[in-house]
Every structure is written in C-alpha cells, then in structure tokens.
Amino acid sequence: ICEKTYKPPEVEHAQPLDPSEKPYSCSICQKTFKHLSELSRHERIHTGEKPYKCTLCDKSFSQSSHLVHHKRTHSSERPYKCTVCEKTFKHRSHLVRHMYAHSGEHLFKCNVCELHFKESSELLQHPCTPSGERPFRCGECQKAFKRPSDLRQHERTHSEERPFKCDLCQMSFKQQYALMRHRRTHKAEEPFKCNLCEKGFVQPSHLVYHQHVHGIENLFKCNVCQKGFNQSSELLRHKCVQNAERPFKCAVCNKSYKRASALQKHQLSHCAEKPLKCTLCERRFFSSSEFVQHRCDPAREKPLKCPDCEKRFKYASDLQRHRRVHTGEKP
C-alpha cells in the first residue's frame, strides 16, 4: 500500500547491543558485562579457577593468553618479527615499542580521549584523565589504574613476563628495582658503609648484621619490657605482653603508644639532650636508627683540626677560641 519496509525479527535480533548495555551479571558481586566471555573470565576471580595448564611445568593460568606468554619461557620462540630489520621478539608489546625506531609514528594512544603520542612519557604527562579516574583496567582481576605504565607493571604479577634483563648474566626480573639491586652484585657497588671500619655492603640489612662484629647488638629496644632487637622491623612486630594495645611506654611519664616511632617523637618533649653520641665526630642522635644510618666523616664534618690536641672544629672562629686553651691568651 505505502511501500514502507521493515526488518525481519531475526535481523533485528542480530543488531549490535547498545554500547551502554551490559546484560551479563555476576551472581556473586552483581558486576555487569557486555559479553558473556568477559563474565566467564571475571567469575574466575571468585572461584580461583585456572583451567589453562602448562604441559611442561604444571603451572596453570586463568587466561589462555597468559599460558601462551608463559610457554615462551620454555622455548626460544620469538613469533613477532620486525618487517624492517627482521629482528624478532617474544611479545607483541616489545615489537610495537621497537617499531618506533623505524617509523617515528605516534604509537602511544590515550584510551580516554583517543589522542596519540610518540613517547610514553608524553602520554603520561597528558592531562586528560581526571585525578580520581582510573581508566586502565586489568583484564585478569579488574583492578583499575590511572596510568598505562602502572597497569603494565601490575599485569606482570599475573604472567611470567620478565622484561628487565641483566646484560652481564642474562638473569631477568619483573620489576626494574629488582634488576638494579641485582646489578650491585656485579659492580661490587656497596653504598652502605660501616661507620667504624669503612667496610661496604650491598644491602642495609647486611650492614646491621656486620655491626655485631663491633659489639653493636640489640640496637632497637622495647621501652616496655626492655627486650632488644637487631632490626627495627623486629621491634615493630614485637607484641609486648605487658601492654598488648599500646606496648611502647614512656619511662618518664608512663604514657604508652601503639608504635615505637610515636613514642620516639613523644620522648623529645622530655629530652633536651640527644642521648646517642658518635665517638668519631661527636654528633648526637635521639634514636638508634638515626645513629646507624649516620655516615661519619670527621674530615668533612669538621675540617679544621687543632695542631696541639687533634680536636676538630667546623668553623675557624671555634678553632681560634679553642686554641686560647693552649696559649693562655685572654681576649
């Protein structure tokens, strides 16, 4: 009659969903998803199911992509090849980063406003994302992050990817700080020095253990039960039976605190003098932790030395005033 046409019901059913529609709901936490596959992947967070198992080492994963990444640790497979220089990579993300050396194109894309950037640093400095928004979401556990770099770092906890490799021994690490700590074993870098014998150590904990040689033991003491500990972490974990709620008690006014650090701050109100004194440079400290971290260098702290008695001073005026003790001069 009017020649108007209509779509059959099956075609109408096949139309794409409204972008805002999320018809699939989690029965445990009520979170909704656009696709059934997303719901299935999410439900593994609640069940702990890891159906994708490695046949070589019996490790299991919640996503098939993580298993594929993991299997490359057992082989020399490098499936991603650069079409320009034919260099190969184990992971696609490494190839994308490498391609910038050839093309110079805008490789880094903002997922919020779709802008592209040449450098990842430019993307991070891009002021698009509101301060409270976390648009970068982990597909494994749904945890959200403000920056893509934070998401990439987090995703390594779900996979076997270790992108930070030592160029001396080929050991690899998930985090950059772990690689930096490892490299000290090759370079013999020992930034933590003993104040008494100048011996250096790679880790601060090694320095604390070494100081026992000089008789410096139990540096950290519980002010309630007087029990001593070699490390501040041991003191913080210590639960004193005399006061389970506030184990750190002031010896002057009996006021108690939950943390040793809070007690140390309080004790400053009673103590005008710093009780711990360095025998080399005569500097004084309130806490044993400050004393341990102190790196003594008398020549740098007090460069002016008295020629008569070896005593050192920071300022020339102090040295001149002191020398009157030897000369008998009375100004």
Place of tokens 């770099």: 149
For residue 232, the model assigns a pLDDT of: 64
Rounded distance, CA 286 to CA 264, Å?
Answer: 8
- In 3-state terms the chain splits into helix, strand, coil percentages (rounded to 5) of 35, 15, 55
CB 133 within 8 A of CB 145: no
Beta bridge partners of 192: 201
CB 230 within 8 A of CB 209: yes
Between 106 and 13, name the one with better pLDDT: 106
Provide CB contacts within 8 A for 312, sequence distance 6+: 281, 298, 301, 302, 303, 304, 305, 306
What is the phi-psi region of residue 109: left when phi exceeds 0, alpha when psi lies from -120 to 50, beta otherwise? beta
pLDDT, tens digit, 9 for 90 and up, residues 261-318: 787 777 766 665 666 677 666 677 766 667 666 656 555 567 788 888 878 887 788 8
Structure tokens at 53: 């198992």
Indicate yes or no: pTM above 0.85: no
What is residue 230's three-state secondary structure? coil
The long-range contacts involving 87-91, CB below 8 angstroms and separated by at least 24 positions, are: 91/161
Rg (C-alpha) for the chain, rounded Å, is 32
> Could you tell me which of 158, 149, 160 has the C-alpha nearest to residue 63?
158
Mean pLDDT, the chain, rounded, equals 72
pLDDT, tens digit, 9 for 90 and up, residues 292-305: 666 565 555 677 88
Domains present along the chain, CATH in parentheses? 24-71 (3.30.160.60), 194-295 (no CATH), 297-331 (3.30.160)
Rounded distance, CA 171 to CA 57, Å?
Answer: 19
> Could you tell me which of 203, 230, 237, 239 has the C-alpha nearest to residue 289?
230
pLDDT, tens digit, 9 for 90 and up, residues 111-149: 665 566 666 667 776 666 554 567 777 877 878 877 777
pLDDT band at 242 (very low <50, low <70, confident <90, very high): very low
Asked if the model's pLDDT at residue 152 lies above 50, the reply is: yes
